[in-house]
Structure 1
């Protein structure tokens, strides 16, 4: 875990770590209903390091895993 936020995730949204190091969400498209409309939901203050994939885990915290490149 990189940053603990204990964010409550809502169904129907995609949560991600923005370039600013904070947690953002956007509504996912469902059938004919369009998605979009990004909004900041938490201040995480994460500084990204090269070679890592950052994601929001099930508990709402920022985690990372090593990127695997090549075949």
Structure 2
């Protein structure tokens, strides 16, 4: 599990995927979200503009990211 320390109130899902190097570009991240390959707190989520906050867990490509 990757730990990501949040600096601020939230981070957009697309930016989180880029910041943790799960994807190389925003376009790649958007495709994964559109294809239902991203889970947010255990549920598949299709929202590209999702605001991820402390305590949330995002799963993508076999990686889990815990936001602190």
Query: TM-score scaled by structure 2?
Result: 0.32
Greater helix percent: which structure?
A: 2
Q: Which structure has more strand as a fraction of its residues? A: 1
Normalising by structure 1, we get a TM-score of: 0.31
Higher relative contact order (CA 8 A, sep 6+): 2
Radius of gyration: which is bigger?
1
